[in-house]
Amino acid sequence: MFAFAYVMLEGGLWIIERAAGLRPGLLSSMPEVFNVRSGILGTAAGIYALFRLGRFHPAFNSSYAAWLKSTPWSSVGPLPLGPIHPVWQDGVVLGALAAVGAWHTSNGWQLPLIVFGFTYLIGLLLLLAFTQTWFPCLLLGFLWPCPLLPAMDGLPRLGIFAAIILVTWFGLRKSLQAFPWERTFQPIDNTRR
């Protein structure tokens, strides 16, 4: 779908430039067009991160979780549909998005990678909360605001992002060890007074 949108944008610009007799690349080099391209690539990377989580994490996929409960699977072994963490195939998809970004946008190759990374990590944080893995959630609650601090410029910011990734990975392992997740919510009994 995103490839189609991108091709339609490029094809439309090419047709308009030819029909109006404009210099080739005149419309394509406008900042507004760069922003539209960046938006398409960033959205594609974000939706790919959500797809990756939804496809491989049992908490996102209830039929997968139900099937997994009926098998002898434990967190010691790999998940049957594939790992939740990114694999080399994701690198191919993200590499293609980054290559198009480097070639066609003003933001370069970084935007799809940054959007994928943030969407993926925040999605995992929400899944940790959903599976009630509270200790990593608490740590991440303190770590996520840290990169915004002015004193965290440069190398300290990279260290914070490394800590966020490590705590998220640790939380994911703990979450899978607690599978199947049982809801501990108790209904409120209003009949007693």
pLDDT tens digits along 13-58: 888 888 888 887 777 778 788 888 888 899 999 999 999 999 999 9
Question: Does residue 166 fall inside a structural domain?
Answer: yes
Quickly count: other Cβ atoms within 10 Å of residue 72's Cβ. Answer: 5
Which residues of the chain form beta strands (DSSP E)? none
10-residue mean pLDDT profile of the chain (193 residues): values are 82 82 78 84 94 91 88 89 93 93 79 94 94 93 92 90 96 91 58 59
Question: Does residue 144 fall inside a structural domain?
Answer: yes
Question: Does residue 46 fall inside a structural domain?
Answer: yes
Biggest alpha carbon–alpha carbon distance for the chain = 82
Residues 6+ apart with CB under 8 A from 181: 59, 131, 132, 175
How confident is the model at residue 183, as a pLDDT?
59
Question: Residue 164's domain spans which residues?
Answer: 2-177
CA neighbor of 44 nearest in space, from 83, 82, 105, 94? 94
DSSP 3-state assignment of 109? coil
Question: Does residue 137 fall inside a structural domain?
Answer: yes
- Domains identified in the chain, total number: 1
Question: Does residue 49 fall inside a structural domain?
Answer: yes
How confident is the model at residue 140, as a pLDDT?
95
Question: Does residue 75 fall inside a structural domain?
Answer: yes
Question: Does residue 131 fall inside a structural domain?
Answer: yes
